[in-house]
Amino acid sequence: MAGSRSATGQHVRRLVAITAASAGEQNFLGARWVPVVLAATPQRLRTDAALRLLALSPHYFAPGQRIRHSEAERNRQTRQVLADEVLARYLHPDDDVLDVGCGPGYLAAAVAPRVHSVTAVDVSRGVLACARILNPAPNLEYRTVDEFTRTQRDVDVVYSFAVVQHLTDEVFARALRDWHAALRPGGLLILHVVVDDPQWRTEAQWRADRGLVGRVKFRFGLNCFGRTAEQVRGLAAAAGFGELELVPMATVVDVDDDVARQHLLLARRMDVALSGDALAHGKRAAGSVPAQPRTRPVPGGPAAEQADPAELSPT
């Protein structure tokens, strides 16, 4: 009985800590005090402080120091593999890239040496503060989605891993339109998706679950929605993307991570005629109208309303 009470107490304390560090549902580490605490932490202690804060989120690391540091290293290694064996196939040295749902920045930091620039966005200021400590790079900026919108930038490639399975169909559809708007003509969208997996419950099944665990998972984005390939293609096409391709991850990478058993969605922004060479590189064709800075929907912005695309996975 005493052991049961102790375990319950630990769960309650952990839930209180998660709630205190969050800024509304599904925005883990979004509380204003999180970056303030990190900024006030002595430089030599900041790495461990960032990992301790990330360990508060159910999406990140275990609270024990040994496990926390080893899990951080595993994340770094697996994201390096994804950058080297998956994203490197589609990136070019002069690309400007947008990482949506960057989390602690492991994938963004691995991608940065391969491209001209990376902007890694997240709705959580706390996780961005952790990312700046754990994964800095000279050509890598960490911004909130609102900050990115105010820059009025556009990019050649948008990618996102371990994010869209946490979004409802409505939010996913709006996010696709936002990413389309952020891309330059001919730009490439690369999304990690889960399709045709009978072990994953549909959105309708999650909504019908009235149990306490199911409702808590749905509220805090700890659930994952299963979709068919037809659904994913239809949502992307409706957002204006063309040249849609679903690629099994297992055919391009061998990595100790769940994503290896899932798929990539590749899609182009196809609203402007491009030359063959420009299309192959996702760039504007010579003579086409240059893409100018413009006001546009927030890339990933709808996720801020329903799910935190930056903290759903330790990317």
Whether residue 41 is contained in a domain is answered as no
Which CATH number does the domain housing residue 241 bear?
3.40.50.150
pLDDT at 15: 41
Based on the structure, what is the number of domains in the chain? 1
User: Count of CB atoms within 10 A of residue 176's CB?
Assistant: 26
Whether residue 29 is contained in a domain is answered as no
Dist. CA 251–CA 253, nearest whole Å:
6
Check residue 153 and report its DSSP letter: -
Residues linked to residue 274 through DSSP beta bridges, in sequence order: none
Cβ proximity of 85 and 250 under 8 Å: no
Whether residue 313 is contained in a domain is answered as no
Whether residue 157 is contained in a domain is answered as yes
Cβ proximity of 81 and 87 under 8 Å: no
Whether residue 28 is contained in a domain is answered as no
Rg, C-alpha atoms of the chain = 19
pTM of the predicted model as reported, rounded to 2 decimal places: 0.77
Whether residue 102 is contained in a domain is answered as yes
Cβ proximity of 86 and 191 under 8 Å: no
Domain span holding position 179: 67-306
pLDDT at 64: 60
pLDDT at 212: 67
Written as six digits, the tokens of 65 are 């120091």
Q: List, run by run, the mean pLDDT of 10-residue segments along the chain (315 residues).
A: 47 41 58 92 95 81 69 91 95 98 96 98 92 97 91 94 86 92 96 82 65 61 78 94 93 75 91 48 37 39 42 46
pLDDT at 307: 44
Written as six digits, the tokens of 312 are 């759903």
pLDDT at 114: 98
